[in-house]
Amino acid sequence: MKKNIFITATNTDIGKTYATLKLIKQIYKAGLKPGVFKPIETGVSSVAHDGSLLLETCSLYNQNFKKIPIEKIVPYRYPLPAAPFCAKEESKIEINRILEAYREIEAVCDIVLIEGAGGLMVPIEENFFMIDFIRLFDAKTLLVTSDKLGCINDTLLSLDMLKRYNADFIWCVNLRDKEDFEIKTLPFYKKYFGKVLYLQEDIKEIVSLLITDGNSDRYPS
């Protein structure tokens, strides 16, 4: 069984937090204790909105999280809504600080859901990108993709990057406009992939795939 799951997306505002919230509930239904971790959140004024929502929800399904402060769930928080490399300005993001917070979370759950920021190639430091969290945490990855016009290009580029990185991953669509998606995007996906997983309809199968060891061999090259 996979211990860590990294949730990423094709870009910002695609549905990573929404997906993580659904994963929390389904993992609990599967008889496991969920945990959440968002190493970096930008666009934070006084409260880390995404991190606080993750913590609040996870606390409903894992009582251990009622004792964990938001500073551990989101160790780095910046006011500028930008890539961490830009949002941190002259400060440095210490990987050891992130790992220390992660270890405290890991100790009180069965699976840690680690939510990224933006897409795979969002820079954290000059030579460290969001995709590098996959290896850092030895995580299986869920790529959340959009249903909007242009999503085919974004999805294929992200999948190609994950395959080049030798990541163990699955992907799904955050379906918000089914009618538009079925006309403008689904015909290609059905021809190219055969099967498409939807966040809203297939969450049980998504969790099953994520917590089981396996790779992305079923995706065309």
pLDDT by residue (tens digit) across 76-88?
Answer: 999 999 999 999 9
* Amino acid identity at 24: I
Can you identify the CATH homologous superfamily of domain 4-211?
P-loop containing nucleotide triphosphate hydrolases (3.40.50.300)
Decide if 80 contacts 47 (C-beta within 8 A): no
- pLDDT recorded at residue 46: 86
Catalytic, 38? Answer yes
Compute the mean pLDDT over every residue in the chain, rounded to the nearest whole number. 95
pTM of the model: 0.95
Domain residue ranges in the chain: 4-211
Which is more confidently placed, 216 or 29? 29
The DSSP symbol for 82 reads S
At residue 78, the 3 state secondary structure works out as: strand
The pLDDT of 52-77, averaged and rounded, is 97
Catalytic residue among 38, 72, 88, 140: 38
- pLDDT recorded at residue 176: 95
Decide if 145 contacts 36 (C-beta within 8 A): no
Please check the confidence at residue 217 and state whether its pLDDT lies above 70. no
Please check the confidence at residue 1 and state whether its pLDDT lies above 80. no
* Amino acid identity at 121: M
- pLDDT recorded at residue 214: 63
- pLDDT recorded at residue 122: 98
